[in-house]
């Protein structure tokens, strides 16, 4: 049922293609012949250009026969090569009969790498990019971007805006390792206060109260954070002080 919203007959009309694209929200369709063999790809951009040149929405879809696909027996690592091509944002996955069995997008592929997942082509989950919403989080003090999500480790790049600070907090189920990438500031570890600058490394054990402050009025403070433990949820943040009223 998932693939039905992406598959259209090669001799269908543009109007029906536009309705399907509007429904699947992914801006493309896979074109098949009467034997369900994949024969081409049609994108919203292809249709738009065709209509601008004088085509009619009642005409047959202008599908592209020169498309990239991957066979479900190929190594997962082949996707690295395919997605290096600038305009390739999704790839149909075909079986030995050239029938569509799945679709993978560039965003979905990168998310799998981010999560340290290992797949073969046949076991790929269906296309669902909603998970990408958590890749970058905004916070009142700045934002962070996840770079790895695995069972016992999570890593982030954290940006703290000028004159902003994280809450004074601790964690019961993870330790943290920080390295300052850019800028300067102050870090509180229990009763100690440290001045930090580019290249400084800080180790934060489990249960240790800590806080980072960007003391600059103009420059962002950027640091890498590697968390080691068995749980990385937000509910493992125990706050003691917070500039933004989140206690």
Cα-to-chain-centroid distance, residue 146? 9
d(CA 27, CA 44): 5
Q: Nearest Cα to 160, choosing from 243, 238, 239?
A: 243
DSSP structure class, residue 35 = T
Chain segment 109-131, per-residue pLDDT in tens? 877 776 655 678 888 877 665 55
The answer to whether the CB of 73 falls within 8 A of the CB of 121 is yes
For 120, the token pair is 């073969």
Q: What is the pLDDT of residue 25?
A: 87
Overall pTM surpassing 0.85 (yes/no)? no
Sheet containing 38-43: which strands, arranged edge to edge? 7-9, 28-32, 38-43
Q: Are strands 28-32 and 7-9 parallel, antiparallel or unpaired?
A: parallel
Q: Nearest Cα to 104, choosing from 47, 28, 33?
A: 28
The answer to whether the CB of 29 falls within 8 A of the CB of 11 is no
d(CA 247, CA 177): 24
Q: What is the pLDDT of residue 117?
A: 58
Q: Are strands 221-229 and 174-182 parallel, antiparallel or unpaired?
A: antiparallel
Q: Nearest Cα to 4, choosing from 100, 111, 112?
A: 100
Number of other CB atoms surrounding residue 21 within 10 Å: 20
HSE-up (13 A, CA, CB side) for residue 18: 14
Q: What is the pLDDT of residue 183?
A: 96
pLDDT by position in tens, the chain (length 247): 578 999 999 999 999 999 999 998 889 999 999 999 999 999 999 999 999 999 999 999 999 999 999 999 998 889 988 988 778 889 999 999 999 999 998 888 877 776 655 678 888 877 665 554 446 788 999 999 888 888 899 999 999 999 999 999 999 999 999 999 999 999 999 999 999 999 999 999 999 999 999 999 999 999 999 999 999 988 999 999 999 999 8
Q: Nearest Cα to 240, choosing from 205, 211, 214, 213?
A: 211
Q: What is the pLDDT of residue 133?
A: 47
């Amino acid at each position: 049922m998932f693939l039905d919203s992406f598959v259209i007959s090669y001799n269908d009309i543009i109007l029906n293609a536009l309705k399907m694209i509007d429904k699947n929200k992914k801006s493309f369709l896979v074109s098949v012949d009467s034997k369900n063999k994949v024969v081409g790809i049609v994108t919203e951009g292809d249709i738009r250009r065709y209509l601008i040149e004088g085509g009619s929405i009642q005409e047959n879809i202008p599908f592209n026969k020169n498309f990239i696909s991957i066979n479900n027996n190929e190594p997962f690592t082949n996707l690295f090569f395919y997605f290096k091509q600038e305009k390739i944002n999704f790839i149909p996955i075909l079986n030995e009969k050239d029938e569509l069995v799945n679709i993978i997008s560039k965003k979905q592929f990168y998310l799998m790498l981010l999560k340290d997942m290992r797949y073969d082509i046949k076991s790929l989950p269906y296309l669902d990019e909603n998970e990408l919403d958590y890749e970058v989080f905004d916070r009142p003090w700045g934002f962070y971007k996840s770079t790895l999500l695995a069972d016992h480790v999570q890593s982030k790049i954290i940006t703290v805006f000028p004159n902003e600070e994280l809450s004074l907090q601790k964690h019961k189920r993870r330790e943290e390792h920080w390295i300052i990438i850019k800028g300067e500031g102050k870090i509180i570890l229990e009763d100690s206060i440290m001045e930090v600058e580019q290249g400084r490394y800080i180790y934060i054990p489990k249960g240790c109260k800590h806080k980072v402050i960007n003391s600059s009025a103009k420059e962002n403070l950027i640091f890498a954070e590697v968390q080691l433990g068995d749980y990385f949820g937000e509910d493992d943040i125990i706050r003691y002080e917070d500039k933004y009223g989140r206690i």
